[in-house]
Structure 1
Amino acid sequence: MFAADAQPADYPTVKALEFIAKRLEEETAGRLAMRIYAGAQLGRERDTLEITVFGGLDVNRVNTAPLNPIAEETLVPALPFVFRSIDHMRAAVDGAPGQKILDALRPKGLVGLCYYDSGARSFYNAKRPVLTPDDLGGMKIRVQNSDLYVSMVEALGANATPMSFAEVYQGLIQGVIDGAENNWPSYETTRHFEAAPYYSRTEHIMAPEVLVMSLRRWEKLSEDDQELFRRIARESVPVMRDIWDARVEKSKEIVMAGGIELVDPVDKAPFQEKMQPVYDRFVSSKLRPLVEEIQAMEVPGV
């Protein structure tokens, strides 16, 4: 089988795919094998996802964003503040709500296997500490080319500026944008912390990654092999998360040593209160029960 991941070879999701490939070969004595193409060798996620739906690619690790036009249920875990914490997010996607979202992919030609972490996104900028939404007022904040992200930032009173991720550092240096939002490893590895030293731990979005298989390829597997692949995929989740958690801590240490000003904790309530227009726009009557199920979940320690 052939698997794609747009992330570089040392990224935690790629390491998880390597775990799956190794276990597949071990448990089938080489009868099943998987070749991994990392670093966007086969194209951008939106492109490889389309190929996967049509059966030209067997396995694919993608973010929820390119899945949104395929199955609207995948929009739910990308909603701002739908999760209270990383533990809440993991419990939700590993549980019944997450399975409902994965099940929604099957009629679209994809088999959802499991979720990987993509971190908690927070705001950072070059101007001032952000303690409340008012502090974001008037700032030009880079966002992904996503209506949801644009709506979220504008609801907080900032000016949403869609921009390629590769252009963010230069944009910060030149003053084209005042800030952006992302997780700790992205903030660190891109050196954005040098240009935007005010980091506020809002953790407003915790959208996970999703591992999918082409339904056409899935149906060619025996029932035993399907169960084997699903089990190994799920076993790869804690492997990925251990690597991810270690990477997050390392990135925190690097940026803190670099002299950033960290606002932590942040009172999230004022930010959450601003999200009603976003939910009104993006949460349909079909999605509302799923959102409420996630929000009502009781997670120990959360």
Structure 2
Amino acid sequence: MNRTDTSRHRPARLTVAAAWLLALLSLTTALHAQTLKMATLAPQGSIWDQAIRAMGERWAKETAGRVQLRIYAGGVAGDESDAMRKTRAGQFQGLAITVAGLTEIDSAFNVFQIPMYFESFEELYFVLAELRPALEARLAAKGYVLLHWGHGGWIHLFSRQPIRTLADLKQQKLFVWAGDDSAVQAWKKNGYQPVPLAATDILLGFQTKMIDVVPTTPIAALSLQWYRQTPYMLGMGLAPLVGGVVLTKGAWDKISPADQALVLAAAKATEKGLEAEVPRQDKSAIDQMSQRGLSVVEIGAEEQKSWRGEAQRFAVAARDGRVPAEILAAAEAAIAKFRSRPAAAPGGGAGN
């Protein structure tokens, strides 16, 4: 009789034990899970916002919820300087920032702000790959881990009045990123009128006539509607807009090595996707804005030569300490290596 009773209750006991085991496993997973908060200026719904969100969804799926991502897009965390300050204070664990933000971490990233330094997206991607170990090391020394490069398109001048010559530009008030005093001084030294503002204040800057010109990409000009204030775009591209997605080392170290590998694989896929899609969207944005009244100002060979000469002067000035010597040398070596290849074709994708 007792044996029968024991046999009858065994399934119930097993069910209770299994439930406790599942609860324990769930608790263990929860203890090791973390939700990473990431700030970005990328407009909600933009190509960059969508790419980061898709990456976060892949993290959650492939790590079984142990690594999750919460995005604060559209500058809700403030300008990049604000977001970085909040990250240092622990409010955020990640940043998806432009090169302007990266230069606040390390001046090496100023190499990507030299006008007309790169001739094509392909050349840029090659140089980024060559410099990545050195730049990752510099970020690590400052407490950050690079997940992937961000690509924003090719920067053009968007202005209230047509700009064809350097003299035209010098007569107009030019937006520059607030917090980058070296850039402000470089522009002033060459006779320009830089006006440092937070990126979140650009629209207000146009409305109050504080600025007349913004260097930005077609995708950004369309997404943020800046082109409505600037009906002219210089057809010649000036520089690629480079960015990066970084995590604080403290947050990174809380992720298991196995999950770190999954996070990096998803980040790499995101980077490759942006490399392929951003140039296409850049062109599409120009087409859309042109249909809505944007005038693309094309310039001749002599005028282009003048602009390139000015860019060369900025590159020379970078050797005076704005870019660390070893990074500038490595970039120049990588560019020379790329251009010496038989397949290298100057000008592709640069908006020239």
Coarse TM-score class (shorter-chain normalised): 0.7 to 0.9
- What is the aligned partner in structure 2 of residue 128 from structure 1? 162
- Please give the alpha-carbon distance, in whole angstroms, between the structure 1 residues aligned to 2:66 and 2:197: 45
Q: 1:274 to 1:155 in 2, by over 3 A?
A: farther
Shift in Å, 1:140: 2.3
Cα deviation per residue 1:208-243 (whole Å; 9 max; x = unaligned)? 111111111222222222222111111111333455
Shift in Å, 1:263: 2.8
Shift in Å, 1:100: 1.8
Structure in which a larger fraction of residues adopt helix: 2
More displaced stretch, 70-79 vs 191-200: 191-200
1:293 pairs, out of 333, 342, 346, with: 333
Are 2:93 and 1:58 aligned? yes
- What is the aligned partner in structure 1 of residue 313 from structure 2? 274
Residues 159-238 of structure 1 correspond to what in structure 2 (within 5 A)? 159-165=193-199, 167-169=201-203, 171-172=205-206, 175-238=209-272
Aligned pair count reads: 300
- Please give the alpha-carbon distance, in whole angstroms, between the structure 1 residues aligned to 2:90 and 2:198: 29
Percent identity, please. Answer: 19
1:89 pairs, out of 116, 121, 124, with: 124
Shift in Å, 1:120: 1.7
Cα deviation per residue 1:112-144 (whole Å; 9 max; x = unaligned)? 1110112221223233341x3233233322222
Q: Which amino acid aligns with 2:234?
A: S
Q: What is the DSSP-based 3-state SS (H/G/I as helix, E as strand, rest coil) of the residue aligned with 2:158?
A: strand
Shift in Å, 1:2: 1.5
Q: Normalized against structure 2, the TM-score is what?
A: 0.74
- Please give the alpha-carbon distance, in whole angstroms, between the structure 2 residues aligned to 1:56 and 1:190: 26
Q: 1:259 to 1:288 in 2, by over 3 A?
A: same
Q: Which amino acid aligns with 2:51?
A: A
Q: Which amino acid aligns with 1:231?
A: A
Structure whose alpha-carbon radius of gyration is higher = 2
Are 2:151 and 1:111 aligned? no
User: Is the Cα contact below 8 Å between 1:82 and 1:291 reproduced in 2?
Assistant: no
- Please give the alpha-carbon distance, in whole angstroms, between the structure 2 residues aligned to 1:290 and 1:283: 11
Q: 1:166 to 1:274 in 2, by over 3 A?
A: same
Gaps of 5+ in 2: 1-34, 347-352
- Please give the alpha-carbon distance, in whole angstroms, between the structure 1 residues aligned to 2:293 and 2:83: 39
- What is the aligned partner in structure 1 of residue 115 from structure 2? 80
Q: CA RMSD in A?
A: 2.8
Cα deviation per residue 1:134-190 (whole Å; 9 max; x = unaligned)? 332333222222334434544554322223445545654665443232111233344
Q: Which amino acid aligns with 2:325?
A: S
User: Is the Cα contact below 8 Å between 1:52 and 1:213 reproduced in 2?
Assistant: no
Q: 1:258 to 1:79 in 2, by over 3 A?
A: same
User: Is the Cα contact below 8 Å between 1:64 and 1:210 reproduced in 2?
Assistant: yes
Are 2:208 and 1:147 aligned? no
Q: Which amino acid aligns with 1:205?
A: A
- What is the aligned partner in structure 2 of residue 36 from structure 1? 71
More displaced stretch, 61-70 vs 112-121: 61-70
- What is the aligned partner in structure 2 of residue 68 from structure 1? 103
Are 2:56 and 1:27 aligned? no
Q: Which amino acid aligns with 2:119?
A: R
Q: 1:193 to 1:156 in 2, by over 3 A?
A: farther
Q: Which amino acid aligns with 1:301?
A: A
Q: Normalized against structure 1, the TM-score is what?
A: 0.84
Q: What is the DSSP-based 3-state SS (H/G/I as helix, E as strand, rest coil) of the residue aligned with 1:9?
A: coil
Q: 1:196 to 1:285 in 2, by over 3 A?
A: same
